[in-house]
Amino acid sequence: MGPATMSESIIEESIISRPTYGTLKIVPGLAHYFLADASGAECVIRVVQEMPRDMMEKVHILYVPTPGEAALITSLYALGAKRFEHFPTIEEAVAKLGSWLSDAKMGSQLYLAGTEGLVGQGVAKGEECGLDHTAVQCEHRGSLARRVQCVHCKTMIEDVTTQPVKCPSCDLLLLVRDHYSRRLAAFQGVCINAEDPTEEVEIKEVFK
Amino acid sequence: MTIQFKDESFRGDFSYANSPSNIPRFPFPFPEDEYMYSTNIEPHHAARAGSPFENAFDVDEHYVAEMKDRALVLAEDPGRCQALPHMETAGWDFLELVMVSKARDYPDLFKLTMDGDRWHWINKPLQIDDTFTFGDSSTLPCHPMEYIGRQVQGDHAILDQRDGNLWMDAGIITAQADWSLDFDIGMNFFEWHAPVPLAHELGVFQRALKFLLTLPQGQPSRRLNWTLTVNPRLDTSPENYPKWGPDKLTVTPENIGEKIHLRVELQTFWRLPRSNAILFPIRTYLMAMNEVVTQPKWGRRLHRVMRDLRPELVDYKGLSRYHPILVEWLSQFDDGAPTSPGIFPD
């Protein structure tokens, strides 16, 4: 994770395993890989536009648009990167990132921008592909929706905005903790009323 | 001394109990009448014949039953035993350390014969008699960490050392006090301790890490940690919280002495020779309140510790539901007399 420098993202101070994010900045590298979703697209545009034109040969961009949205695809395409591909889901884009990184040279840089789910899965993929953590930059943008692993049945729940959240697989009501696994790119969800299942717990929208 | 292994359970009818002779050797975790976090690490030297600190890996009357409970947990949830790919050498280091130590410390129970890299291992209590090639995992039925982890009491995490940090990269964890290996695997020392309150601010983890990074081979260390558990249940994992959480509602002033157990972790730290990893055994001892208070010093002291425990710790250790009635119950064993220093009974 990048250092907690200035960022558009507002994340309250929390426990140590909870990631913090910085602001993307071009650093010297033999290749520059970008992964963003719609909320992070403008970060990619911002930094790539600052690069000299002759560096475009080294730029590779993966994008996950919001369904139906086309304007940002056009803008990202217009940057003139060597490769630009877009995918309907984070999962597919991250899989593609994995295949790109497996052919990547030493000295490659990875830039991630957007929601925490996308950034987290990009970090995990970078780590899996042997990229040093110092070669990975993250900028958080958009919703604070969380990716949560149900600790009981191990289901991954995407885009969680409520506290608690009901596990769609085992039906338990989960407290979304700040405890975060980089390997799973997920926060931990633990049953909130396990001691007394009759306890009623109000579900509130908190991760906006 | 021959150990009589008990046939007992840590689930269902909870038939687990300590024999009267086993009670005084319990690793009571409070050397003083009050408790706060500290980096309470000391050399893991042999101490007090008969105590759990006498041998490298303590074997007691619960050995066979604990290994049966571990097998049940692993059959239900294989994710309790995981190792990242670079941790195989460390698994062999762990296997060697346990086999050599147990064969040396308990020659009537365990026997190790080495002929070059052909090793012959006999574990009499578990009726195991195997020959294998050290370093060649294809000659074992499973990963070396799992093989030996099924034969040694306590959970075992193996911490890889790199970038000036320790990484939870392997473990066999079936008797944990509410943490998930499956979630925490791959985390560094600060990350996996992140949910612990107060201790970060006190600098406990920074000091502990600094100490562990320079831990020399052949000079293991130990510390005690504790919590309370309702019923003698080893598997208090977050995975199974819906199974053990409701137990907390069953505590009443009448049954508190048999229901609530002091759960003590004897944690030891061992530098491993080939991998340079650290083996981190977390050996759990359980003792019902009724058994604890048979030692008058422990009854007095436990009352004082529980009464004065900081609210953050009451909450973190999950004691909130029954903490007041426990303090009330324990007060009958505290006559106000002074207690002697140290953890051993008078």
Measure the CA angle with vertex B189, ends B183 and B192; round to 5°.
30
In a shared domain, residues A36 and A108: yes
Alpha-carbon gap, residue B345 to B262, rounded angstroms:
15
Phi, psi of B166 (to 5 degrees): -115, 140
Environment class of A145 (CB within 10 Å of its CB; exposed 0-12, middle 13-18, buried 19+):
middle
Alpha-carbon gap, residue B183 to B161, rounded angstroms:
19
- Residues of chain A where predicted confidence (pLDDT) is lower than 70: 1-13
Quick one: pLDDT at residue B322? 96
- Is residue A6 in a domain? no
B243: closest CA of chain A, how far (Å) = 8
In a shared domain, residues A110 and A184: no
In a shared domain, residues A133 and A157: no
B249/A contact by beta carbon, under 8 A = yes
B237: closest CA of chain A, how far (Å) = 10
Among A94, A124, A140, the domain-final residue is A140
Residue of A nearest to B197 (CA): A15
B239/A contact by beta carbon, under 8 A = yes
Alpha-carbon gap, residue A152 to B174, rounded angstroms:
14
Q: Exactly one of B223, B263, B301, B304 is catalytic; which is it?
A: B223
Evaluate whether B270 touches B221 at the Cβ level (below 8 Å). no
B188 forms beta bridges with B167
- Is residue A168 in a domain? yes
Alpha-carbon gap, residue B262 to B289, rounded angstroms:
7
- Put simply, the answer to whether B183 touches A190 (Cβ < 8 Å) is no
B161 CB-near residues (< 8 Å, 6+ apart): B167, B213, B276, B277, B278
Residue of B nearest to A196 (CA): B246
B241: closest CA of chain A, how far (Å) = 6
- Put simply, the answer to whether B242 touches A179 (Cβ < 8 Å) is no
Alpha-carbon gap, residue A90 to A36, rounded angstroms:
9
Please name the helix (run of DSSP H) or strand (run of DSSP E) that holds residue A96, with its range, or none.
helix A90-102
Nearest to B264 by CA among B236, B227, B309, B237: B227
Domain that holds residue A93: 31-140
Quick one: pLDDT at residue B199? 77
In a shared domain, residues A157 and A94: no
Tell me which chain B residues have a C-beta less than 8 angstroms from the C-beta of A15.
194-195
Residue B339 carries which side chain, given as an amino acid letter? Answer: T
Instruction: Choose the closest CB to B183 out of A15, A178, A184.
Output: A184
Average pLDDT in the B86-99 region?
98
Residues of B numbered 166-185 whose beta carbons fall under 8 angstroms of chain A's beta carbons: which are they? 180, 182-185
* B204 has a pLDDT exceeding 50: yes
DSSP character at residue A208: -
In a shared domain, residues A39 and A132: yes
In a shared domain, residues A40 and A128: yes
* B9 has a pLDDT exceeding 60: yes
A91: closest CA of chain B, how far (Å) = 20
In a shared domain, residues A44 and A69: yes
- Put simply, the answer to whether B248 touches A18 (Cβ < 8 Å) is no
A179/B contact by beta carbon, under 8 A = yes
A84 forms beta bridges with A61
Alpha-carbon gap, residue A99 to A95, rounded angstroms:
7
Quick one: pLDDT at residue B88? 97
In a shared domain, residues A89 and A174: no
Secondary structure (H, E, C), chain B: CCCCCCCCCCCCCCCCCCCHHHHHHCCCCCCCCCCCCCCCCEECCCCCCCCCCCCCCCCCCCHHHHHHHHHHHHHHCHHHEEECHHHHHHHHHHHHHHHHHHHHHCCCCEEEEEECCEEEEEECCCCEEEEEECCCHHHCCCCHHHHHHCCCCCEEEEEEEECCEEEEEEEECCCCECCCHHHHCCCEHHHHCCCCCCCCCCCHHHHHHHHHHCCCCCCCEEEEEEEEEECCCCCECCCCHHHHHHHHHHCCCCCHHHHEEEEEEEEEEEECCCCCCEEEEEEEEEEEHHHHCCCHHHHHHHHHHHHCCCHHHHHHCCCCCCHHHHHHHHHCCCCCCCCCCCCCCC
Q: Which CATH number is A45's domain given? A: 3.40.50.80
Asked whether the bond before B107 is cis by omega within 30 degrees of 0, the reply is no
Quick one: pLDDT at residue B300? 98
- CB pairs A-B closer than 8 Å: 67
Q: Are strands A108-114 and A136-140 parallel, antiparallel or unpaired?
A: parallel
A30: closest CA of chain B, how far (Å) = 24
Quick one: pLDDT at residue A10? 57
Alpha-carbon gap, residue B104 to B54, rounded angstroms:
12
Instruction: Choose the closest CB to A151 out of B183, B186, B194.
Output: B183
In a shared domain, residues A45 and A120: yes
Q: What domain count does chain A have? A: 2
Quick one: pLDDT at residue A69? 87
Residue of A20, A149, A176, A190 to mutate for B, most B C-beta atoms under 10 A: A190
Residue B110 carries which side chain, given as an amino acid letter? Answer: F
In a shared domain, residues A160 and A93: no
- Is residue A47 in a domain? yes
- Is residue A53 in a domain? yes
pLDDT tens digits for A12-26?
Answer: 667 888 888 999 999
Phi, psi of B139 (to 5 degrees): -95, 5
HSE (CB half, 13 Å, CA atoms) of B228?
A: 30
Among A140, A155, A181, the domain-final residue is A140
pLDDT tens digits for B143-173?
Answer: 999 999 999 999 999 999 999 999 999 999 9
Return the sign of the alpha-carbon dihedral for residues B29, B34, B38, B43. negative
- Is residue A182 in a domain? yes
Q: Is B223 a catalytic residue?
A: yes
pLDDT tens digits for B219-228?
Answer: 999 999 999 9
pTM: 0.90
Quick one: pLDDT at residue B198? 78
- Is residue A200 in a domain? yes
In a shared domain, residues A150 and A128: no
B194/A contact by beta carbon, under 8 A = yes
- Is residue A11 in a domain? no
Q: Are strands A146-150 and A156-160 parallel, antiparallel or unpaired?
A: antiparallel
In a shared domain, residues A117 and A167: no
Evaluate whether B80 touches B181 at the Cβ level (below 8 Å). yes
Evaluate whether B30 touches B343 at the Cβ level (below 8 Å). yes
* B1 has a pLDDT exceeding 70: no
Residues of A numbered 10-39 whose beta carbons fall under 8 angstroms of chain B's beta carbons: which are they? 15-18
Give chain B's mean pLDDT.
95
- Is residue A17 in a domain? no
B77/A contact by beta carbon, under 8 A = no
ipTM of the complex: 0.90
Please name the helix (run of DSSP H) or strand (run of DSSP E) that holds residue A46, with its range, or none.
helix A41-49
Query: Mapping DSSP to helix (H, G, I), strand (E, B) and coil, where does residue A166 land?
Result: strand
Tell me which chain B residues have a C-beta less than 8 angstroms from the C-beta of A195.
245-246, 248-249, 321
